[in-house]
Structure 1
Amino acid sequence: MERHQALNNATKPLSGVKVVELGTLIAGPFAARILAEFGAEVIKIESPDGGDPLRKWRKLYQGTSLWWYLQSRNKKSVTVNLKQADGVDVVRKLVASADIVIENFRPGVLEKLGLGWEALSELNPGLVMLRLSGFGQTGPMAMQPGFGAIGESMGGLRYVTGFADRPPVKTGISIGDSIAALWGALGTLMALRHKEVNGGQGQVVDVALYEAVFAMMESLVPEFDVFGFVRERTGNIMPGITPSNTHTTKDGKHITIGANGDAIFRRLMLTMGHADLADDPTLADNAGRDARRDEIYALIDRWVANQNETEVLAALSAAEVPASRIYSAADMFADPQFLAREMLQSVKLPDGRDCRMPGIVPKLSQTPGTTDWIGPTLGEHTDSVLATLGYDSAQIATLREAGAI
């Protein structure tokens, strides 16, 4: 039995948009989650045999991942066995009336099932199909498996992350998958707009994980092409942008200070008691400061190290110098900015326990997104969704008995 109904979906920007999600784990489901938060009806297809593996990833609460409850909020779970023809037929019927299909299988998998782009677009010419994969749908590596970690490595992010005297490191989250999901959601909305103004024509949105990361690499490519310059790992500083670094206080806390604006740098130096550097014409612009960055960072290190965290942050706030402690989850839960912006939303887990989840991004002033329900139980919406396709209760029971749903 379904536990939830969408709240005020008619007021959301994607109200009336139907999405069939054929993804697992991170990239595809995250893209679908963004659409679901803003009103799209997202029908998540899961295997009857355990469903999306994310249900069992990281910290489990009463056997279910808390990440699952977040990643699948506002989605409907329908179990379908894609190894059975009757199960594939259910998906085809869903796609026939859908606006979007999101999938992150290895290229070729859906084609073998008769659910590739050619087959689905013939069934539904207005379909927008978001395809997320390690290396894209074309090229010599297209058929190879590729996860977010591979995309981060091949796309250049891992190479520049860390300290020069140590091996490359990863960020603390699956950032490659998440970046790909954001590009995917953006591309899907572009394709919907194209469909709207071009007579209902659908298309494929092809996102490769390595390309999604590569697209974020700022000036890495032209710097190499023009100067032969290879950007290397530089720890917490960014050469060419000075000062911007992390410093340690007397009480052992870590603070990031970004004072690379000309006027901001001057205010920082005055706050630190270095009027001579504030007025030094050679430090009046970024190029001059970067040429003396070691000297500048040494001064800031000493100044920060002589004070407690609260003292440093108070002085920098008074001087309007951008700075922050490096937040843990505990810091976020106590921070008035997070609370004022409703970035910690309270939801109910299935047993009634309160649980906070991240709020909705971005903030739309007229049609904001919402959390209407948390990730559903496996197959929670199977019967109701199949009923909309014309299956009666006897047909649904037959499909379930045969293992097709």
Structure 2
Amino acid sequence: MSGSGDLLGGLRVLELGTAIAAPLCTMLLGEMGAEVIKVEQPGKGDDARYWGTLVKGESLYFLHYNKNKKSIAVNLKSERGREIFLKLVEKADVVVENYRPGVLERLGLSYDTLSARNRGVILCSISGFGQTGPYSGLGGYDVIVQAMSGIMSVTGEPDGEPMRVGFPVADILASLYSTYSILAALYRREKTGEGEWIDISLYDAAVSAMGQWLSIYLGSGRLPERFGNKYPLIAPYEPFKARDGYIMLAVANEEQWRRFCSAAGLESLLSDPRFRTNQDRIKTENRRALEEIISATISRKTVREWLEIFWEAGIPSGPVNGVDALLDDAQLKARNMFQTVEHPRLGRLEVVGSVPKMLKSSVRVRGPPPLLGQHTVEILKWLGYSDNEIRSLESDGVISCQEKIY
């Protein structure tokens, strides 16, 4: 399924972003066809340009979150730099930023200022704790929010330390909430002609992901605890060690339980009162006994042998993959989840593709992540600046360029 039309063709998005939350949001809009202009600090740019593994001076971390964009390097602390940005705002539909609350106002770029230049502009502000409340002035990186939201309290082994999730889940959730909020505000603008100011908090987003545990606590008074790879609500619903690796089982209802027992040669468990229903199986002693029985059985075959058996029987299961295994995964290849782009410094670059697949519209990686200031000259000329004006801006430190104007 692959369409040809651009869902957001003609939409222009400005990004004042660093790290993950704002850059991921605008990257997703870019995959849907929006033109994304990343506005960065001259000589420095996004902090993530210097994070993690560098290849030829380029951060592989940064590359993932900044596909589908152009980069203009402008000093927003200078009067002429602010005017460049406001000229861009006049031609933009959306501005996405993840500065700490108050920074835009100090730069003279508050929502009121942006709206005065463009009544229909939509500003999406993403921050650790939002624009209001007693924590609003605090810095809020993903790991801080994972800790404060309770995510770490339910992650890790029962007798171990609180543990963070292995990817920036709070940042990613905030990005997704931002993206759909922007699309909703655009829909509203079609009817009213008015812009909007969207306030997204990583903390709010992370707490929303804890909703099931909050619901259980509010309704029962039971405080959830860390449970490692086991799931306290369902059994068996965890990884088991096969002869050559681990396989994950997710037996989520009684029909699947019957099919699992038959496929695994464990039919005797069906008449065992300890395992008759899921409510029986999740009792602590019963669960421990069930795990011992299943572990002994699973250890007799390889992961591939068990997957052939379980998939044939319609039992939800899968291998515990490493990152390297994903590149050769037949399902991911069939879904075009890896694409190739041409990077100006790294050359041919394989990147993670787009999640949505649509029949009549195209959602895809449209270009590589930009070098810092790679498109400064192009964008300034589009705004009407002459070569002499661009040279002056560069010599005065208002902008930086990859392309020189002689």
For the superposition of Structure 1 and Structure 2, which TM-score range results when normalised by the shorter chain? over 0.9
Deviations 1:307-351 (Å, cap 9, x if unpaired)?
Answer: 222222222122211111111122111111111111121233335
Is contact 1:266-1:279 (8 Å) kept?
Answer: no
Match of 1:63 among 36, 47, 57: 57
1:377 aligns with 2:371: yes
Corresponding residue number in structure 2 for 1:4: none
Q: For the Cα contact (< 8 Å) 1:245–1:258, is it kept in 2?
A: yes
**Equivalent position SS for 1:219:** helix
Task: Report the counterpart of residue 257 of structure 1 in structure 2.
Answer: 249
Find the aligned partners of 1:165 and 1:200 in 2 and give their Cα distance.
Answer: 56
The SS at the match of 1:171 is coil
CA deviation after TM superposition for structure 1 residue 284, in Å: 5.4
- Report deviation, 1:352: 6.4
What pairs with 1:271-290 in structure 2 (closer than 5 Å)? Answer: 271-278=263-270, 283=275, 285-290=277-282
State the TM-score, normalizing by the size of structure 2.
Answer: 0.93
Cα distance in 1 between the residues matched to 2:165 and 2:220: 28
Equivalent residues of 1:270, 1:278 under 8 A apart: no
Task: State the number of aligned residues.
Answer: 396
Note if contact 1:130-1:206 (Cα within 8 Å) is conserved in structure 2.
yes
* SS of equivalent to 1:215: helix
Residue by residue over 1:71-127, the C-alpha shift from the partner in whole angstroms, topping out at 9 and shown as x without a partner, is 211101001011211111111111122111000000001101111112112222211
The answer to which of 265-274 and 307-316 deviates more is 307-316
The match for 1:96 is 90
- Structure 1: distance between partners of 2:100 and 2:343: 33
Distance 1:334 1:286, change over 3 A: same
CA separation of 1:10 and 1:309: change in aligned 2, threshold 3 A: closer
| CA distance in structure 2 between the aligned counterparts of 1:209 and 1:63, rounded to whole angstroms | 30
TM-score (norm 1): 0.93
Per-residue CA deviation, residues 139-188 of structure 1 (Å, 9 max, x unaligned), is 01101111111111111211100011011111222221111111111111
Instruction: For residue 234 of structure 2, give the secondary structure of its aligned residue in structure 1.
Output: coil
- Counterpart among 34, 37, 40 of residue 43 in structure 1: 37
Match of 1:175 in 2: 169
Percent identity (aligned): 35
Structure 1 runs not aligned, ≥5 long? 1-8
Residue 201 of structure 2 corresponds to residue 208 of structure 1: yes
Task: Judge conservation of contact 2:56–2:345 (CA < 8 Å) in 1.
Answer: no
1:285-319 Cα shifts (integer Å, max 9, x gaps): 43233233323222221111222222222221222
Q: CA separation in 1, counterparts of 2:145 and 2:185?
A: 24
Residue equivalent to 1:107: 101
Q: Please give the root-mean-square deviation of Cα atoms over the aligned residues, in Å.
A: 1.9
Which residue of the partner structure matches residue 23 of structure 2? 29
Instruction: Give the equivalent residue in structure 2 for 1:223.
Output: 216
Q: Which amino acid aligns with 1:172?
A: G
What displacement does 1:394 show?
1.6
C-alpha distance in structure 2 between counterparts of 1:10 and 1:317, whole Å: 34
Residues 318 and 10 of structure 1: is their aligned pair in 2 closer, same or farther, counting only changes over 3 Å? Answer: closer
